[in-house]
Amino acid sequence: MVHPYMRQSHHRENGMETAEEISSKIVNMLDRLHAIVIGPGLGRDPLMLQTASKIIEAAKKKGMPFVIDADGLFLIQNQPSIVYNYTHAILTPNVAEFARLCKAMGIEQSDGGEACSRLAKAFGGVTIIQKGPKDYISNGKQTIVCDIKGGFKRSGGQGDTLTGCLATFLAWKKAYQDRLWAHDNSLSDSELITLSAFGAAAITRNCSRLAYEKKGRSMQALDLSAEVGNAFKNLFESEEPKL
């Protein structure tokens, strides 16, 4: 279902709607959700960004996990305090976005996952997925690498597969913690977030490889969506994962 509540400045009703009024409609829906994604398609209109920041604050009060990507990262680089010290937040920057976040937080970039770890720590323990030839995942205390084989082309919009898978895993995280099925409840909140990040990165990389094998250089981001089910089966349902 699509709820067209978000507004750019020139689309506000009667030219008078405030970010508080617009965000309240979305905040009222949060109790029905398990995780949210903020950023893809958001744009950089001031009213839109103000609305998004209010939704983030409301989600934090409810302890909801959320993913920040694309233009949401533009908001964060200019207002780092919005996610500071909120360990249920996951940022998914590409190379350029990662560089801008590092600059905003005074972090010197370096090879490997060191910069990712320092940036996560500077944000007070948020989880960061630094996308690249290898995906580095860090919460400032622990850094892991997802280097599962991907395709030979990275299409614009490919990150949407990552954020969508990540939101799904975060929703399953809540289901795990609510004990919707029988398990030993041995995984901590931090471990669940890290596993969600790794799982989403792994699926996205496998989707990219599968799509590239079929489409080659003509592969587009949408082609990854058709491979999500196959990638999940390859990685998590097969006796021998096809990496």
Helix residue ranges, H only, 150-226: 159-177, 189-215, 221-225
Helix orientation angle between 19-27 and 46-61, rounded to the nearest 10 degrees = 40
Q: Would you tell me the crossing angle of helices 189-215 and 159-177 to the nearest 10 degrees?
A: 150
223 is in an annotated binding site: no
61, 30 Cβ separation under 8 angstroms? no
40 labelled as ligand-binding? Answer: no
Give the pLDDT confidence score for residue 243 in this predicted structure: 64
Q: Does residue 117 have a known ligand-binding role?
A: no
Helix (H) or strand (E) holding 128: strand 127-130
Residues 65, 91 contacting (CB under 8 angstroms): no
Is residue 123 part of an annotated ligand binding site? Answer: no
CB 206 within 8 A of CB 160: no
Structure tokens at 46: 């001031």
Any known ligand binding at 169?
no
Spatial neighbors of 89 by CB under 8 A, at least 6 apart, are 65, 66, 67, 68, 83, 123, 126, 127
| 154 annotated among ligand-binding-site residues | yes
Does the annotation place 152 within a ligand binding site?
yes
| CA–CA distance, 77 with 100 (Å, rounded to integer) | 7
Quote the CA–CA distance of 227 and 115 in Å, as a whole number: 31
43 is in an annotated binding site: no
Give the residue from 51, 40, 41 showing the smallest Cα distance to 17.
Answer: 51
Token code pair at residue 22 = 């617009």
pLDDT in tens, the chain (243 residues): 888 899 899 888 777 889 999 999 999 999 999 999 999 999 999 999 999 999 999 999 999 999 999 999 999 999 999 999 999 999 999 999 999 999 999 999 888 899 999 999 999 999 999 999 999 999 999 999 999 999 999 888 899 999 999 999 999 999 999 999 999 999 999 999 999 999 999 999 999 999 999 999 999 999 999 999 999 999 999 777 666
Provide the pLDDT for residue 183: 93
Question: What's the confidence (pLDDT) of residue 130?
Answer: 97
- 122 annotated as a binding-site residue: no
A 10 A CB-CB count for 92 gives 30
- Residue 12 has a pLDDT of 82
Is 98 annotated as a binding-site member?
yes
